[in-house]
Structure 1
Amino acid sequence: MNIIKTYKNPVLVALVSIVLYLGFAYNLERSEFIKLICLYAALFITSYLFIEKYLSRHQLRFWVLASIGIIFRLAFVVSIPNLSQDFYRFLWDGRLLIQGFSPYLFTPSTSTAFDVTIAQSQELIEGMGALNASHFSNYPPVNQLFFAIAGLFAGTSILGSVIVLRMAIILADVGILYFGKKVLEQLNLPVKNIFWYFLNPFIIIELTGNLHFEGIMLFFFVWALYLLFNGKWFWAAALIGISVSVKLLPLLFLPLFLKYFTKSNKTSQVFKTCEVSTKSVLIDLGGCGWKILLKLYLVVGVTVLITFLPFLSSEFIQNFAATIGLWFQNFEFNASIYYIIRWIGFQVVGWNIIGTVGKILPMIVVLFILGLSFLKKNSTPQQLITSMLFAVSFYFLLSTTVHPWYIATPLILSVFTKYKFPIVWSFLVVLSYSAYGKNGFDENLWLVALEYIIVIIVAIWEVLRARLKPTRSSTEKTGNTLQV
């Protein structure tokens, strides 16, 4: 009876959460914005109770809470994604690939002209939409591998393919939980932080529910960070390369490794080895820092090249580059600073200047990241991850398109730092779904402004607080840890 009384509240909240997730998965349409945001807000409250209340009061063990997170994900297992149409393109690419055709050389809308036949082709094209069907695939090769596996094991079953992809994403999240916990222990940070990723309804809904592959990318990247901080730079570099071949985003972080490997002073130490070794040694960086850095870049580059090698051709390079360019110069969604620039452009020249601005903003991002690389210390693991967090956040602030699932990257990075504004962002980003109404797409810029104003204010407040407030001791930082 004491056990029932002790764990009554966590069990009740878990059951309520499962009901809410089932409602989200099987009884919600994207156009039902009020219903969507109410379910989402309720799930955020239940997640907060688990992470910030029940962990300390009820001393829930780590893997008990992990099991709860897995159960929440399994609530989606036989559902068709209801907030995104992208999975139809995943299935089309995978089915094309297992027939021996490159998904980078055919668009769904023109495939019939080349005698390419895909099972349920018309249903998949209608599902993904005319815009998606008119472009070549922009998903890198390791991502395509998962699409092909779904086609191979599920055949022509759309639901079967969805289940295969979903199980892969769930396994990746479990991997992030495992290695994320280890990284937090390395950094002497509260282990509970990882649950702001694993129990976050944003992650469960956008990745497991809507089949976005940020989770697969982040699994390889977090695993790479764990190995890197243990001195195993070679295997870390290989995993970073695989991560890039799932989603290109980790390329942003490569310049930030500069100071981590090359800065040498009495107070700056990192885990590293000068030779490829499985043994981890804690020593000051010496003259081999530059050599290791260059080797790391080489291994990343070679790994990426190997994954792209089966598809390489002049036509592939042209198609892939053109499709990537669309994200910067054609597409617009849930942007922040870009929308202000666009408004100024309309006032000055009278038309949308995305074609010009879309070329300039990436250059500003590159300059910002180079500034972080040369001007910030980045010589310790936490400094490095903090710079990564601000690099990717700045990139999204200047992007013309920021889909909700993109926020998964700053969110996972934030759990390894003292900054929590990405958690706020992961809640507010759901406001972007107001654009999908019953009468079609119509973006509510007031809600977009609300999203970014709050996120930016919280971020600025955290930065100022970090500069003004003395660093707390390690003992204070690691309070409220979990039982393992």
Structure 2
Amino acid sequence: MKKVIPFALNLALLITLIFLAYFTQRTNSTQLIALFMCAFAAYIAILKFYNDDQFFRLNFWSSIILRLVVLFALPSLTQEFYRFVWDGQLLRLGFDPFAHRPESYVLAGIQIEGIDASLYEKLSSKELYSIYPPFCQSIFGIACKIFPTDLYKAVLVMKSFVFLFELGIVWMISLLLKHFNLPKNRVFIYALNPLCIIELCGNLHLEAGMIFFTLLVIYLLIINRTLLASVFMGMAFCIKFLPAIFIPLLLKPFGFRKTFDIAFLGIVVGVIFSLPFVYKIEQVGHILESVQFYYNQFEFNASFYHLIKHLGFTITGTHSMLNAQKIAFGIFLATLFYLTAFTSKGKEKLLVRMMWTLFIFLLLSPAVFPWYTISLLALCLFTNYRFPLIWTLIAPLSYLAYQTTPALVPNWVTLLEYGLVIGYAVFEIISKRNLIDQPALSSSEAITELADSDC
């Protein structure tokens, strides 16, 4: 019986993820939310009752099989993969994906093999220049080079890269847990998480590469491989520039010289890798134009950012995204300065401070998609806090936005989502307990003791 129940729970997780990956569209919100709830019920039961050494092998192979199963599904919760194929086809034929908007090719009547009207109609950003960084572009190009006329197989190649990144993440988490003498079974908090599996391997989000390279950089720094860490920091920058927010946190545990090397050499490596893709001033301008659009025009599932914007309207009588962004950025910089200058210099606390930094960043962001919470989940494994896990459980509710056009997250979802996440974080801080896998938090990790430099 002891083996039957955990096997049944893993089987239930497998079945629900199959239905999510193959038979659920993001507009079918009732089915989507119900399946996620079932998947998380099985997941939490495994973590709570069947996550000791006795079940390590079962959970390990389950985490691999679950990813392999969803790997073969065409992404159903996002349409961005069509843009991946568009950019990949341009690269395959020697065109510059940063030179023109998709609509420019159509308006000019330019015919390109592998790019047709049906693909164009499925793009969600026809009027924008490509925003995807060089490392991502290289994956798109490789996939379309291998399968120039088969969209499904090209997407499968792209997803294979994500699968490899996911294996790398599990490997890095295991190495870091071992280094810090933390329970090895914590890896399954990430490895069996339904949102991680569905969003990364299932829906082709290349954040998996960013998470892998970031954890690899931290591990290499801890074992004094600074030069190699700098190289992989550059690779992380070439997927997403988000890891740059963690660089100031390296000052106290590693000193100015190592921090400078990581930042400077990381940028140099990123630039060198980018040169085959971005080599003209106009390209940089096009990329910045798209980035500016996303940050100045696009809002999704935001929390404190909306509150700041509302307060600004109350005071000035105008809705200004720019002013709200400036205030949010100022608050984030102040938080980052505090976590950099007034907290512990211990290397074992670095990942704790990275978790809080990213948490504040997401709270102040104008757009928070469900898969953005996955990075936070990976970082929380090296602390005793589990509120990021709660966030991954609730984040799928934001898909209710796709019941309307344009997509708009209902206010009650935002209140419920952030109320529960922040409420559970406060509970963990005050009680020094989490209800998932540890009976108590060590007092040295309590956020209320940050002022005493224990974080």
TM-score by length of 2: 0.90
User: Please, which moves more after superposition, 433-442 or 305-314?
Assistant: 433-442
SS in 1 for 2:258: helix
Change (3 A) 1:46 1:358: same
Change (3 A) 1:353 1:251: same
Give the aligned partner of residue 471 of structure 1: 442
Give the aligned partner of residue 15 of structure 1: 11
Change (3 A) 1:118 1:421: farther
In structure 2, which of residues 341, 348, 357 is the aligned counterpart of residue 374 of structure 1?
Answer: 341
Give the aligned partner of residue 338 of structure 1: 305
SS in 2 for 1:59: helix
* Amino acid in the other structure paired with 1:128: L
Residue 173 (structure 1) shift = 0.8
User: Please, which moves more after superposition, 411-420 or 441-450?
Assistant: 441-450
Alpha-carbon displacement from aligned partner over 1:413-459 (angstroms, at most 9, x marks no partner): 11111211100111111111111116663320111111011111122
Give the aligned partner of residue 284 of structure 2: 317
**Is residue 308–residue 328 contact of structure 2 (8 Å, CA) maintained in 1?**
no
Q: Which blocks of at least 5 consecutive residues in structure 1 are unaligned?
A: 263-289, 474-484
How many residues are treated as equivalent by the alignment?
436
User: Please, which moves more after superposition, 34-43 or 113-122?
Assistant: 113-122
Within 1, Cα distance between the matches of 2:80 and 2:348? 34
Give the aligned partner of residue 38 of structure 1: 34
* Amino acid in the other structure paired with 1:222: L
Residue 178 (structure 1) shift = 1.1
Within 2, Cα distance between the matches of 1:31 and 1:115? 33
SS in 1 for 2:204: coil
2:238 counterpart of 1:242: no
Within 2, Cα distance between the matches of 1:304 and 1:111? 29
In structure 2, which of residues 205, 222, 232 is the aligned counterpart of residue 229 of structure 1?
Answer: 222
Aligned pairs for 1:221-370 within 5 A: 221-262=214-255, 290-310=256-276, 311-370=278-337
SS in 1 for 2:371: helix
In structure 1, which of residues 453, 458, 467 is the aligned counterpart of residue 424 of structure 2?
Answer: 458
Change (3 A) 1:408 1:85: same
SS in 2 for 1:55: coil
**Is residue 80–residue 162 contact of structure 1 (8 Å, CA) maintained in 2?**
yes
Alpha-carbon displacement from aligned partner over 1:372-396 (angstroms, at most 9, x marks no partner): 112222x223311111111111111
Alpha-carbon displacement from aligned partner over 1:288-343 (angstroms, at most 9, x marks no partner): xx333322222212111112222132112211122222232110100001112233
2:164 counterpart of 1:193: no
2:137 counterpart of 1:119: no
* Amino acid in the other structure paired with 2:82: Y
Change (3 A) 1:350 1:293: closer
2:407 counterpart of 1:436: no
Within 2, Cα distance between the matches of 1:446 and 1:414? 27
Residue 351 (structure 1) shift = 4.2
Residue 346 (structure 1) shift = 4.1
Give the aligned partner of residue 207 of structure 2: 214
Residue 401 (structure 1) shift = 0.7
Within 2, Cα distance between the matches of 1:186 and 1:437? 46
Give the aligned partner of residue 62 of structure 2: 68
Change (3 A) 1:369 1:291: same
Within 1, Cα distance between the matches of 2:405 and 2:100? 32
Alpha-carbon displacement from aligned partner over 1:14-49 (angstroms, at most 9, x marks no partner): 222222111112221212212111110111111122
In structure 2, which of residues 83, 86, 97 is the aligned counterpart of residue 103 of structure 1?
Answer: 97
Within 1, Cα distance between the matches of 2:335 and 2:149? 46
Change (3 A) 1:93 1:256: same
Within 2, Cα distance between the matches of 1:253 and 1:436? 33
SS in 1 for 2:164: helix
Within 1, Cα distance between the matches of 2:404 and 2:338? 45
Change (3 A) 1:302 1:442: closer
**Is residue 301–residue 414 contact of structure 2 (8 Å, CA) maintained in 1?**
yes
Give the aligned partner of residue 452 of structure 2: none
**Is residue 401–residue 408 contact of structure 2 (8 Å, CA) maintained in 1?**
yes
Residue 350 (structure 1) shift = 4.5
* Amino acid in the other structure paired with 2:16: L
**Is residue 329–residue 356 contact of structure 1 (8 Å, CA) maintained in 2?**
no
Change (3 A) 1:148 1:428: same
User: Please, which moves more after superposition, 103-112 or 386-395?
Assistant: 103-112
Within 1, Cα distance between the matches of 2:431 and 2:122? 47
SS in 2 for 1:76: helix
Change (3 A) 1:359 1:323: farther
In structure 1, which of residues 69, 74, 77 is the aligned counterpart of residue 71 of structure 2?
Answer: 77
Alpha-carbon displacement from aligned partner over 1:262-292 (angstroms, at most 9, x marks no partner): 2xxxxxxxxxxxxxxxxxxxxxxxxxxx333
Residue 114 (structure 1) shift = 8.3
**Is residue 70–residue 170 contact of structure 1 (8 Å, CA) maintained in 2?**
no
**Is residue 187–residue 381 contact of structure 1 (8 Å, CA) maintained in 2?**
no
**Is residue 428–residue 441 contact of structure 2 (8 Å, CA) maintained in 1?**
no
Structure of greater relative contact order (alpha carbons < 8 Å, 6+ residues apart): 1
Within 2, Cα distance between the matches of 1:38 and 1:162? 27
User: Please, which moves more after superposition, 349-358 or 366-375?
Assistant: 349-358
TM-score by length of 1: 0.85
C-alpha root-mean-square deviation of aligned residues, in Å? 2.1
Identity %: 31
Within 2, Cα distance between the matches of 1:192 and 1:221? 21
Give the aligned partner of residue 135 of structure 2: 142
Residue 348 (structure 1) shift = 4.5
Change (3 A) 1:358 1:156: farther
Within 2, Cα distance between the matches of 1:43 and 1:380? 37
* Amino acid in the other structure paired with 2:201: T
2:395 counterpart of 1:421: no
